[in-house]
Amino acid sequence: MDNEAVRQAAERIKASSTVVVLTGAGISQESGVPTFRGKDGLWKQYRAEQLATLEAFQRDPELVWQWYDWRRGLIKPLDPNPGHYALVEMEKRIQDFVLVTQNVDGLHRVAGSSNPIEMHGTIWRVRCMECNQIFENRDVPIKILPTCEVCGGLLRPDVVWFGEALDERILRTIYTSLQKAQLMLIVGTSAVVQPAASFGLVAKRTAGAFVIELNRSKTAQSFLFDLSIQGKAGELLPQLLDYIDL
């Protein structure tokens, strides 16, 4: 860990009144959340990419719900880690703080982040296929098949599946924040999945933001950012907070 780089990053954060943070799977993995893709994604004989689609749900909703129920069972007992809690404290110290996450596990909310933008939705909400009502649901196990308490329609996980577009209102909110950011912090993401992969460059080019990347290893975009620090989010973020509070 480069202590001088962490100190420099903290000074930049402390001097910024408008900060956008983007988190990815890396911060959740430190709490024990599997990625559900790659080698962690195999459930029975299926991969995540085969199940997390509207087509799969329409073809066999019971199978897809069994998979999500299994995932919810793995995630529910897990706790936020020191990285999540450090972001909660950082939010209290910064005038205009926006947290955007690609994760659907809900751990930022559990930690106490006031209004995280969950750009891919959350595994703890369900949405009706008929009336489009959205409900929070933390039942584990969940009733399969779950139905809407308003109209009786079939409920689906309120997440963005492969092949589905992100919510335009959420994207507008994110881009508005990026376009006025003085600093952007990118935590635990490999920066390969669009549109999140371009957020750092958007902030840098449209707002002149100072962009800091925290990740276990360098990414394909590390050389484009102002600082790239390698290490665990659960260690780096609390250390940043300590320097900010000096």
Query: Do both 227 and 201 map to the same domain?
Result: yes
Residue from 71, 120, 125, 232 carrying the catalytic annotation: 120
CATH of the domain at 53: 3.30.1600.10
180-224 pLDDT tens trace = 999 999 999 987 789 999 999 999 999 999 999 999 999 999 999
Whether 215 and 143 map to the same domain: the answer is: no
Residues 155 and 175 in one domain: no
16 with 90, same domain: the answer is yes
| Distance of alpha carbon 160 from alpha carbon 194, whole angstroms | 13
pLDDT at 183: 98
Span 122-132, mean pLDDT? 98
Asked whether 106 and 27 are in contact (CB, 8 A), the reply is no
159-175: pLDDT as tens digits: 999 999 999 999 999 99
Looking at per-residue pLDDT, the higher value among 204 and 46 belongs to 204
pTM over the 0.75 mark: yes
Q: In this structure, are 150 and 239 located in the same domain?
A: no
Taking a C-beta distance cutoff of 8 angstroms, is the pair 211, 191 a contact?
no
175 and 232 fall within a common domain? yes
Considering the domain architecture, whether residues 16 and 132 belong to the same structural domain is answered as no
Domain of 73? 38-77+128-159
Overall domain count for the chain: 2
d(CA 207, CA 197): 17
* Same-domain status, 73 and 86: no
| Cα 131 to Cα 118: distance, rounded to the nearest angstrom | 22
Compute CA 210 distance to the chain's CA centroid, rounded to the nearest angstrom. Answer: 21
Average per-residue pLDDT for the chain: 95
| The token pair that represents 127 in the structure block | 């949405």
| Same-domain check for residues 56 and 132 | yes
Q: Which of 205, 6, 14, 182 is nearest to 98 (CA)?
A: 182
Banded model confidence at residue 246, pLDDT cuts 50, 70, 90: confident
Residues 6+ apart with CB under 8 A from 59: none
CATH number, domain of 86, equals 3.40.50.1220
Q: Is the domain of 175 the same as that of 209?
A: yes
Question: CB neighbours (10 Å) of residue 63?
Answer: 16
Distance (Å, rounded) from C-alpha 242 to C-alpha 246? 6
120 is catalytic: yes
Whether 153 and 223 map to the same domain: the answer is no
Same domain, 97 and 210: yes
Confidence of residue 39 (pLDDT cuts 50, 70, 90): low
